[in-house]
Structure 1
């Protein structure tokens, strides 16, 4: 993934050949939360090896609201490179916000789940066990981005429990994992 992400940043250079000759070159990158940690780790190396300063903005790959990548592009943002989920990318290509054929696959990202320390490990070995574990959960917290939308709009309805679980949708990225301990602590005070 490291090489692919560096290559993706380099793609921006293809469209802007003068950057490599400009001492004050900048590359504008818009990124969603799913790639943020890897991107932040690789960014200093990219800037050091290319001499190009990268200006980064962020937004959710999908969803609604003024900070989604789609909304920012609709308001006139003009990044050189956009890094986001495949689903979000497909929406932007369909809306003619991203040029079809310019996409590069960077990684696949499985979904994960976590429970509060000391809680019993949920059984997710079968679909029936997953369903029961989700029904027993006091709260299911998920990001308001592609993975959260998939769980809320696809997984929970397929399990026929969408209206029977307590959901909290948080800001995309690592904020959703921080929300669970805060919610648990707030419940202790009641």
Structure 2
């Protein structure tokens, strides 16, 4: 709160809950041309919990914005080594499931733990879900003054400027385009 004069956690979840339905609708419209988005959204047909919808909205951003999320989100099994799973990860989330899988199948898996990773080290463990871990990551990035990953700059810009409403006056064309599509949805 001291850094930006607002409660980051509260603004993150308030903004996320406000935009989740619109984001998912925009994703579904693009789903026919993006198989990664389609496979990410498929489990929402059976499970419509708010937690799964939040997770899908966050996990779908890089796919929608055509950015590379491979070095940002890593999935491993409970029996796997966290050291191996976080290799090469500067900033990211480690999702531990009972049966492994890929980033696109995360919502269909039983998530056991979500951890925040900085410079190949697990910093925060035992986050309840992807959305909570993402909120903690945003707080760490602000407090430690760490730049967003280059391969995901638009994803983080949308989270900061559109979802959280911090510095929303000057958005890139991609972030502004997504905001406009959500307003039309």
Same fold (TM over 0.5): no
Mark the structure with the bigger radius of gyration: 1
TM-score (norm 2): 0.22
TM-score normalised according to structure 1 size: 0.21
